[in-house]
Structures are given as structure tokens and as C-alpha cells.
A = this chain, B = another copy of it.
Amino acid sequence: MSADEAPGKPPHTAGEFDLIARHFAPLAKDMPGTFGLLDDAAAIAPPPGCDLVLTKDAMVAGVHFLPDDDPADVAAKLLRVNLSDLAAKGARPYGYLLATSWPHGTPEATVARFASGLAADQSRYGIGLLGGDTTATPGPLTLSLTAIGLVPAGGMVRRGGARPGDVVAVTGTIGDAALGLRVRQGTLGGLAGGHAGALRTAYLLPQPPVAFGPALVGRAHAALDVSDGLVADLGHMAKASGVRIVVRMDCVPLSDAVRAALSCGAAELTEVLTGGDDYQIAFSASKSNFNVLEADAARCGVGVTAIGEIAGAGAPAVEVLDESGRAMKFLREGYTHV
């Protein structure tokens, strides 16, 4: 946070140590092996019989969030996009490491607000801070988070492994965040306030199905989180599994707000299916396991909807069929072409 930082000074300034002590050390206080963030590193003793699942996502102001978003929301989103990856792999979250690079002159209240967003989500998800780094930057706020989860040994659910005959399903609803960003940017009008607010919140504060994730272990053949757009992400699953995936458009779960935006012409189906930022889980499972998972999800308060099936051999691809069974064509699939 010191404005006078530059190469030629030690890597950490007194101001940075103060920020860590005041705002980040309290986030580590319940985590064994973190020593109040006063040591060089944390030591964790993984429970016997568990593998660690590791993921790391970065977010940059102006690229992944808007510079005037509430810092508490930004913190929660940073955490949740990583917890989404863990959940999709069947892992329960354990803890995280955090690197924050703050623009020169950032008010300490901004850092405090950011930390409050982390604290709230730590309680929500039962996790804690394990360590990290705090620096200054002449650029925009830049964040990266390494999340650590636990799965039974050998149990991580992969993208590959989908089998012909599997049901393909998703949690929650699709497209809310993509349209929510347009609400946030003021380019999607004409919706009732309640709908607009719901979409906006979906963009700012994803709700990954963290509690449901561990149920996938040993039951789902393949899973991944929907972050780059449903069609693109199912494309990753198709490619990794060497299968063709058929999706029935009329089965894709849409919220009332998304349906309203579609029916009044304010949004297009393509945005919904390719927009990304959903942070739901797409998975494939046998029909009998799907029924078990549906019940598990319900117990976690998570909706699960079958949207299609693994169609078997053929070039890996995703085919989306409309109500009359005709294949739909998308010009772009979440910006990554299968």
C-alpha cells in the first residue's frame, strides 16, 4: 500500500505487514498450522486417506470484475470461483492462500471491506485462510487465490470418464450471470426490478453448489464447473471423455428472470448458453446414480436437472437440439471453439 515502493526496497513494506496483521491474520486464526500468518509458510497435515485437490484462479479489476464493484463481493466471488472448481471435482473445501496486489493509494477501508467479504464466506463454507502475500501495484487490483480441498484418495472426479448412456445434468440454472453482467453494465433493460436484481446478484455473487460437490465422488463419471459457458464446458467434457453429448435445449434449467429476458427479446439464447460465469456443476452419471445424486442435491438445497445424454461414439462434440429435435448452431461457444 506504500506509494514509495519500487525495486530497491525489501519485498515487503511496513505498511504491508500492518495490513496483513489487521485484516488478514484474523482470517487465519482458526486454521491449525498457520501461526497467525507470522511465519514464512503454513504446515497442514492432510487427513489419512485423503488426496488434496488444488486449484488457482486469478481475477483482475477491469478484466474479471468492475473496478467499482463492492470489494466484499469481489472477495466472495474470488473465493467462490475457486470453490466451484473444488466442488465440481467432488472435493470439500479445506482452506486457501491469497495474493492481493493493491493499487497505490487504496484506502485501508477498501482492504477492510474486502476482508469482511472473505470472513463472511469463511463462515458460510467452513474454511479458513492458510497464507499468502500482500503487495502494492501501479496497476489495477489483482487477486489470485489457491484453494485446497479434500477428496477420498483416488476419488477426484475428472472431466474425462463420461460414458455412452450417461445422463448429462447441471446444478442450478444457466445464464443468470451472463445476463446479470449486462444488467450491471446497463445494457439489458426492460425487466421487472426483481428479475433485474436477481440477475445482477447472480453475476456478482455466484452460488456454487459447494455442499453438493462431495456427493459426486464415486457416482458421477465426469464433472466440471460451468464457467466458460455451458456449451464450451460440455465441449471440454466431450473432448476429455471422447464422446458426443446431446443436450435438449428445452430441458436446460432457466430461472424466471432469464425466461423473462428471453421472452421480451432483451436477451438471446446464445448468451445464456455461452455467456459463462455460471459456477454451476455439469456432470454425467449412469441413470441410477443420477437418481441418487438428484436426491443428494435436494438434501443440500441444490436443484439438479437432466439436460441430455452421452450419445456414444463419434467425433467429440456437443449437439444442442431445439424443441423439435433440430440441431442448433452457436456462432461462438463461450469464446472457445470445440
Interface residues in chain A, defined as those with a beta carbon under 8 Å from any beta carbon in chain B: 5-14, 17, 33, 35, 38-46, 48, 51-60, 62-66, 81, 85-86, 88-89, 91, 97-101, 130-133, 135-140, 142, 144, 146, 148-149, 151, 153-154, 156, 158-159, 181-182, 185, 224-225, 227-229, 232, 236, 240, 274-277, 334-337
Contacts and interface: CB of A to CB of B under 8 A. Distances in A.
Sorted nearest first, the 3 A-B pairs with minimum C-beta distance are A139-B139, A10-B276, A99-B144
Nearest to A158: B39
A19 to B, nearest CB: 13
A57 B52 CA distance: 21
A287 to B, nearest CB: 25
A99 B181 contact: no
A58 B133 contact: yes
Nearest to A81: B11
A136 to B, nearest CB: 6
Contact of A276 (B11, B35, B44): B11
B142 A63 contact: no
B41 A89 contact: yes
Contacts of A45: 51-52, 153-154
B13 A335 contact: yes
A6 B63 contact: yes
Contact of A138 (B91, B139, B240, B274): B139
A11 B277 contact: yes
Contacts of A229: 10
Oligomer: number of copies: 2
Contact of A53 (B42, B66, B101, B232): B42
7 contacts: A7-B62, A11-B57, A40-B225, A43-B156, A44-B54, A63-B137, A137-B139
Given A35-B158, A54-B130, 14 more contacts: A12-B335, A38-B159, A40-B55, A40-B88, A40-B224, A42-B53, A43-B51, A43-B156, A54-B148, A58-B101, A58-B133, A62-B138, A63-B137, A133-B144
A40 B334 contact: no
Given A10-B232, A63-B138, A146 B225 contact: no
Nearest to A17: B336
A228 B40 contact: no
Contacts of A135: 58-60, 63-64
Given A64-B135, A334-B10, A54 B97 contact: yes
A272 B124 CA distance: 47
A86 B41 contact: yes
Nearest to A229: B10
Nearest to A14: B336
B156 A101 contact: no
Nearest to A84: B40
Contacts of A55: 40-42, 97, 131
Contacts of A137: 60, 63, 139-140, 142
A252 B35 CA distance: 29
A7 B97 contact: no
Nearest to A278: B10
